[in-house]
Structure 1
Amino acid sequence: MKIDRINQIKELLQEKNTISIEKLCATFDVSKNTIRRDIAELEKQDVIKKIYGGIMLKKSMGEPEPFASREVKYSNEKKIVARLAANFIKDDDVVFIDSGTTTMHIISALAHIRNLTIITTSLYVINAAVNYTHFNIICTGGNFYFPSRAFVGSSVLKCLDNYNISKIFLASAGVSLENGVTNTSPLECETKKHLMGGNAQKILLIDSSKIEKSSLMTYAELKDFDDVIIDRKPAQKYVDYFKKNNVKLHYDDFSGKI
């Protein structure tokens, strides 16, 4: 499948940085024309640049934007999304809150919730949640991934399997109808994919700047989510897509104020 092959090419580039067209043809057992079409798609995503006889990973794609700079961008929009997301959380819930500069804002809107268990990979979520003594906080542990201030690795997946999570709140670096829900870090994508395979209610949190953006790897299709929360109404093609695929869309058009 094309999207799977493109994601695998991205993974190879993360490991090797450069790869030849001949090697790609042999790895995937496809023609040069097929690989050239994949390369054209990767160029469109601004993931790679062509070199003689092959391709190489763009450094900007391999190195996520620093957390501190992401934190201040579109902060008002992110707080709107987080406020809407907090409405999904009820007393006695067991929820997973993803790392990210949007999800971290959910905690401050949960002061009234009782007997809430929060499972997270995010250092920022942990630091925010410790201010509320009535929360039960479970950190997955794992290897600390500094660019996202998050824990990653196989031990995270093993930890998550121990709990009956009712709702998961996931973030994304960019979404599109063509490439789905994407993220910069392969290790974080591994965690997100694992969670998407469970039975919990799946809720995507994005601010409107993430629409029509694609990052390094796809971890889910938009139709895989039960709910999508955004700060304002997206383009009509997204509204139509969500309706067609029975995904509930939530947004706030109150002039961008919270």
Structure 2
Amino acid sequence: MKINRIQKIRELLEDNHSISINTLCDTFNVSKYTIRRDINELEKTGFLKKVYGGIVLQEQEHNSPEPFSLRESRNVQAKKKIAHIAASQVQDGDIIYIDSGTTTMHMLPFLVKRQHLTIVTASVYVINAAAALNQFNIISTGGALYMPSMAFVGPTVLDNLKHYNISKAFMASTGVSIEHGITNASPLESEIKRSLIQKASKKFLLADTSKLDVASLISYCDLKDLDCVIMEKTPPARYIEYLDQNHVTLLTKDSSPMSDLR
């Protein structure tokens, strides 16, 4: 019944903070037209806000992560350029961590020529995509599934990461700024990212320039804590100056990969 469906949408949104329209259609086995009518009724109450492709809790709109399905459709070409550059930093025999994110996931097609590569990840997407290529040693962190990012979180992830000697970590973020560093909207994910920054031998940030001067809920490291920042194009001068002063390598599509980071 309609009234039961609307109540269930409320409960799902309270649990997950954001949901895509496609997920709602699949959950209730109804059309997008029906779901949008339900959403319109809930929106009138001030309970939610409509975003492109889905809905978010109104009270969480500034800090809650958007659904993975919404974020992955943005700036796709820029993300692929960044991922291609990042993949050039991976060598045969590396043990790498691929963070959950809509940029890092694009690395996989560019890694197919690598031999004896081990991929550690908490990302469900990365696990599935890497398994489909059938050539990598894949290690899942386990943990509780966090739906907005389609990634595992919790103490299980942190405990498992202690056992792995990660040579290179390829990190994602919601926002990047000199003042607030590298930020993320999820406290649970931020805890994992902070642990990786402390553990990995080389830390790479993959971020398109639309994330510059954006600060999300939690800072998980400073820009100066990274070894390399990878972007699709040259950032503003103040970022270039800051990275240079702190000995952080900047790689873009116009720069040559640095051999000392390989």
Asked if these proteins are the same fold (TM beyond 0.5), I'd say yes
Query: Structure 1, residues 144-170: CA drift from partner, whole Å, max 9, x if none?
Result: 000000000011011011111100000
Distance 2:62 2:149 in 1: 14
Query: Structure 1, residues 87-109: CA drift from partner, whole Å, max 9, x if none?
Result: 01111000000000000000010
TM-score (norm 1): 0.75
Moved over 4 A (4+): none
Matched letter for residue 103 of structure 2: T
Tell me which residue corresponds to 1:74: 75
Tell me which residue corresponds to 2:36: none
Matched letter for residue 223 of structure 1: K
2:52 corresponds to 1:88? no
Query: Structure 1, residues 68-95: CA drift from partner, whole Å, max 9, x if none?
Result: 1110100000000000000011110000
Tell me which residue corresponds to 2:227: 226
Tell me which residue corresponds to 2:199: 198
Matched letter for residue 205 of structure 1: L
Cα deviation, residue 64, structure 1:
1.3
Cα deviation, residue 63, structure 1:
2.4
Distance 1:73 1:253 in 2: 22
Distance 1:152 1:76 in 2: 28
Aligned ranges 1:161-180 → 2 under 5 Å: 161-180=162-181
Percent identity, please. Answer: 48
Distance 1:211 1:199 in 2: 24
What's the RMSD between the two structures over aligned residues? 1.3
Equivalent residues, number? 198
Cα deviation, residue 133, structure 1:
2.2
Query: Structure 1, residues 36-56: CA drift from partner, whole Å, max 9, x if none?
Result: xxxxxxxxxxxxxxxxxxxxx
Matched letter for residue 127 of structure 1: N
Distance 1:208 1:120 in 2: 24
Tell me which residue corresponds to 1:108: 109
2:71 corresponds to 1:64? no
Distance 1:236 1:197 in 2: 28
Distance 1:252 1:151 in 2: 31
Matched letter for residue 234 of structure 2: K
2:237 corresponds to 1:236? yes
Distance 1:214 1:231 in 2: 20
Task: For structure 2, list consecutive stretches of 5 or more residues without a partner in the other structure.
Answer: 1-57, 256-262
CA distance 1:216–1:58, shift in 2 (3 Å): farther
Distance 2:254 2:168 in 1: 25
Aligned ranges 1:1-258 → 2 under 5 Å: 58-253=59-254
TM-score (norm 2): 0.74
Cα deviation, residue 131, structure 1:
1.9
Matched letter for residue 183 of structure 1: N
Q: Secondary structure at the match of 1:242?
A: helix
Cα deviation, residue 199, structure 1:
4.3
Distance 2:181 2:236 in 1: 15
Cα deviation, residue 253, structure 1:
4.2
Q: Secondary structure at the match of 1:249?
A: strand
Task: For structure 1, list consecutive stretches of 5 or more residues without a partner in the other structure.
Answer: 1-56
Distance 2:111 2:157 in 1: 25
Contact 2:63 / 2:216 at 8 angstroms: preserved in 1? Answer: no
